[in-house]
Chain A
Amino acid sequence: MEIIVLIKQIHDPTRLRVSSQGRLVTAGVPLIINPDDLRALEEALKLKDSLGARVTVLSLGPPEAEEALREALAMGADRAYLLSDPAFADPDALATTYALGSAIHKIGLPDLILAGQLSGHGISAQVGPRLAEYLGYPQVTNVSALEIDNGSVLAKRVLEESYLEVEVALPAVVTVNSAANLPRLPHGARIMNAYQDPPGSERFVVWTARDLDLEPQKVGAAGSATQIRATTVPEPKGPPEMLTGSPHEQARALVGRLRAKNLV
C-alpha cells in the first residue's frame, strides 16, 4: 500500500505572541510539525507496522521545512518530498492544494492520503478536502481512528456529541484530528540516520515550481484567492480574579462562580 502523509511545519502555537501592532511574533519561536499531522503520520506508521506500506511524507514550505520531514523520516517514514520555491510563498489553501496535488500526480497516485484535520497556523481545515476534490478522491474528515479492511477505510468521525463510523473505498483522503493517537517518539538510531540522504537524493526529493511545471499565477500569494487583511487579538474580558484560601475553599469558590454563570 502506498500512503502519502501531508506534513506542514508551523511555529509552535503555544509559543507565539502578538505584538502591540497586532502582528504575530515568530522570531525565536521553534518550528514544529503541525500536531494533527503528527497524528496523521502515526496512523500511517501504524498501518505500515500492521499491513506493510510505503509511507511518503510531503510538505510545501520554506527550506527549513526540511527539519519537519527529517523528523518524519526518523519516526518511520520511508521517503520525503519537499516543495520549496520562493514562488510558493504565502499561499492560501487553494494555492497550497494546487502545488500539493500536482506533486502527488508526479509522485504517483497513492492508495491513501492522510492529512491533519487542521493546522495550528491557518486553521482553515481546507487543504485535505480541497485536495480530495482536486484529485477526485473521496474524503473523510475529522477522523479519530481508522482501519483498512479489504480495500476500504473504516473511519471514526468525531461529531459534536457522537461518533460517525464511515466506510469508504480506497483510494481516499482522510484528515486526522488531535484525538487520534499519541504519536510515537522516534528511535535514537533512526534520528541519527535521518539526515543520511542529502536533499535532492532519492529518499529526500526537493522540487521547485519548475520541476512541477506549475503555472506561476496559480502558486504562492499570486495563486491565492484569499488575502489576510489584518490579524487581531480578542480583547481580554477584564482582569482575572484570583481565588484565595485552601484548595478546598478555592474549589468551592470556583464552582460557585461557574454555577452563577450557568456554566455547570
Chain B
Amino acid sequence: MDFTFSKEHELLRKMIREFAEREVRPLATEIDETERVPMETVRKAAQLGLMGVPFPQEYGGVGAGEIGYCILMEELGKVCTSTATVIGAHTGIGAMAIYLDGTPEQKVKYLTPLAKGEKIAAFALTEPQAGSDAAAIRTMAVRDGDHYVLNGNKIWITNGDIADVISVFAVTDKALGARGGVTAFIVEKDFPGFSVGSIEEKMGIRGSSTAELIFNDCRVPKENVLGTFGAGFVTAMKTLDIGRVSLAAACLGGAQAALEMSVRFASQRRQFGVPIAQKQAIQWMVAEMSAEIEALRSLVYRTAWMVDTGRPFSREAAICKFYGSEVASRCIDRAVQIHGGMGYMRGFSIERGYRDARIAEIFEGTNEVQRIVVASDIFRQVGVRISP
C-alpha cells in the first residue's frame, strides 16, 4: 500500500495553492459580498489549465485525473467555496457529462474549449417539481426534422447565467420515464428559444450564481444528443456520481481551513490568563476535527484513486458526499464556537465558511438520498431491493 501522491500531483498542488493564495484568497470576501466570481479570475484559472484538470490533454485538459481534480477542489475549498463551486459545476458536472458520454466529435467541439476554459459549462437537471426525484422532470424534447425542440424550465442551475454550453436533461418518451425516456442534450446559450430567467439570492456560496433556465421552443440540432438516445438518466447519474467525489474534496478543504484557523486563533486568544488552547474543551474540538478530516482525506483520495483506476465507486462516492459535507459542516460549526463572537462577525472567513458549508449537504443529491444510495447498495447484496 502506498499513500503518497505522485510527484506530478504534488507539483500540481503547489501550483494550485499558489494560484489560490495569489488570485482567489484576496478576493474571497468581495466575491461573497458582490455575489460574483470575477470572470478575470476564471480566465486566470483557465490560463493554468484549471478549468479542465481531470480531462485528457488531447481534449485540452490537464490530464491529472480525478486525483488531480480533487486536489484542485481541496485547495480551492480552503480559500473560497464560491470559486470552487463555479469551477466545480463547470468541470465536475457540466463538462464531465460530455467527457463521459460525448462522441469524439462532441468532445472536440465542446469539451476542448470547455477544458481550456474558453467556454463555461453548466449541468441542468433540477426542475421545480423534480429535485431529489429527478426522474420527475417535465422538460420535453420533441423531434422536428434535424432538430429537437425543447420546452420547459430548469431551476437552481449553477453557472446557468454565465454558461456557454449546458448539459440539459429532457423527457423524450413520457411513458418510459427514467428508464429509457430521458435524453441528454448539449445546448449552446445562443440556440434560439433558450433564455436565462431569475437568479437566486442565497445564504452561502453567494459568488456562485444559481439561475433559472427557460426553454421556449428551443431548437437543438440532433447531433447534440449527448450519449445514447433515451439513456440520459444514466448519463445524469454517472456524472453526479463522479461529481460527488470532488464535491467532498472541496468539503475537505473547507474543513481543513476551519481547523487551521481554529488552531491559530486558539493559540493566540487569551482568556483567564492563558491561551484558550490550554482549555480541554477547545482541545477536544480540535482533536475531533482533526480525526474527521483525516478520515475524510483518506476516503476522498482513495475514492478518486478508484475512479482513476477504473474500479466501481458509486457507493464510495455517495459516502464521500454525505460524510464529507457533514464533516465540513461540523468542523466549521466548531470553528465558529472556538472563535466565540469573532466567529459570528461579518467579513471574517469563519462566518462566510459557516454559510458556505451548508449547501454541500443539499445539492448534487441530498445527504438523505446519498444514504439511500449507500443502503440500497448494501441491501442489494443480500437480495433486498430498496426504492427511494
The answer to whether A263 has its CB under 8 Å from any CB of chain B is: no
Give the interface centre of A67, A189, A193 by most chain B CB atoms within 10 Å: A189
Is A187 interfacial (CB 8 A cutoff)? yes
Instruction: Judge whether B12 is part of the interface by a CB distance below 8 angstroms.
Output: yes
In the complex the two chains form, is B7's CB within 8 Å of A188's CB? no
The CA-CA distance from A198 to B47 in the complex, in Å, is 27
- Give B17's nearest chain A residue, CB to CB: A185
B48 touches A185 (CB 8 A): yes
B50 partner residues in chain A, CB cutoff 8 A = 188
Mark contacts of B1-35 with chain A using CB atoms, 8 A cut-off: 1 yes-contact digit, 0 otherwise.
00000011001100100110010000000000000
A194 within 8 A of B: yes
Selected from B7, B47, B68, the residue in CB contact (under 8 A) with A187 is B47
Closest to B61 in A: A189
* Cα–Cα, bound, A194→B63 (Å): 12
B48 partner residues in chain A, CB cutoff 8 A: 185-188
A74 at interface, CB cutoff 8 A: yes
C-alpha gap A71/B8 in the complex (Å): 9
User: Chain B residues near A67 (CB, 8 Å)?
Assistant: 7, 11
Q: A70 near B62 (CB under 8 angstroms)?
A: no
* Contact residues of A between 20 and 69, Cβ < 8 Å to B: 67
A-B contact pairs, 13 of them (CB 8 A): A67-B11, A71-B11, A74-B11, A187-B47, A187-B48, A188-B15, A188-B49, A188-B50, A189-B49, A191-B8, A192-B12, A192-B68, A195-B7
- Interface members, chain A 162-204 (any B CB < 8 Å): 185-189, 191-195
Question: Which of chain A's residues have a CB closer than 8 A to the CB of B12?
Answer: 188, 191-192
Q: Is B171 an interface residue (CB 8 A)?
A: no
Interface string of B40-55 (1 = CB under 8 A from A): 0000000111100100
CB within 8 Å for A186 and B15 given contacts A192-B62, A192-B63, A192-B64 = yes
Bound CA span A214–B288, Å: 57
A224 to B83, CA, bound (A): 52
Counting residue pairs across A and B whose Cβ atoms lie within 8 Å, the total is 51
Give every chain B residue within 8 A of A193 (Cβ-Cβ).
57
Number of interface residues of B (CB under 8 A): 19
Number of A interface residues, CB 8 Å? Answer: 14
| Complex: chain B residue closest to A182, CB-CB | B22
- Docked CA distance A243–B50 (Å): 43
Query: What residues make up the interface of A, taking CB atoms closer than 8 Å to B?
Result: 67, 70-71, 74, 185-189, 191-195
Neighbouring B residues of A194 by C-beta, 8 Å: 8, 11
Are A188 and B53 also in contact (CB < 8 A) when A70-B11, A74-B11, A194-B8 are? yes
Interface of A is mostly: helix
What is the interface of chain B, defined by CB distance below 8 A to chain A?
A: 7-8, 11-12, 15, 18-19, 22, 47-50, 53, 57, 61-64, 68
Chain B residues whose CB sits within 8 angstroms of the CB of A185 once the complex forms: 15, 18-19, 22, 48
Complex CA distance for A186 and B64, rounded to whole angstroms: 14
A residues in contact with B8, CB < 8 Å:
191-192, 194-195
Q: Are A191 and B15 in contact (CB under 8 A)?
A: yes
Cα separation A70 to B68 with both chains bound (whole Å): 18
CA of A32 to CA of B7, assembled, Å: 14
Residue pair B7, A189 in contact (C-beta under 8 Å): no
Which chain A positions have C-beta within 8 A of B22? 185
Which residues of A have CB within 8 Å of B11? 67, 70-71, 74, 186, 191, 194
Residues of A within 8 A of B61 (CB): 189
A141 to chain B, nearest CB (A): 28
Within the complex, what minimum Cβ distance (angstroms) separates A183 from chain B? 10
| A187→B19 contact, CB < 8 A | no
- Chain A residue contacts of B64, Cβ below 8 A: 188, 191-192
Q: Determine the residue in chain A with the shortest Cβ distance to B57.
A: A189
| A192-B57 in contact given A70-B11, A185-B18 (Cβ < 8 Å) | yes
With a CB–CB cut-off of 8 A, which chain A residues contact B57?
A: 189, 192-193
Q: What B residues does A187 contact at CB under 8 A?
A: 47-49, 62
Once bound together, how far apart are the Cα atoms of A70 and B8, in whole Å? 9
Find chain B residues with CB under 8 A from A191 CB: 8, 11-12, 15, 62, 64
Please report the C-alpha to C-alpha distance between residue A156 and residue B61 in the assembled complex, in whole angstroms: 39
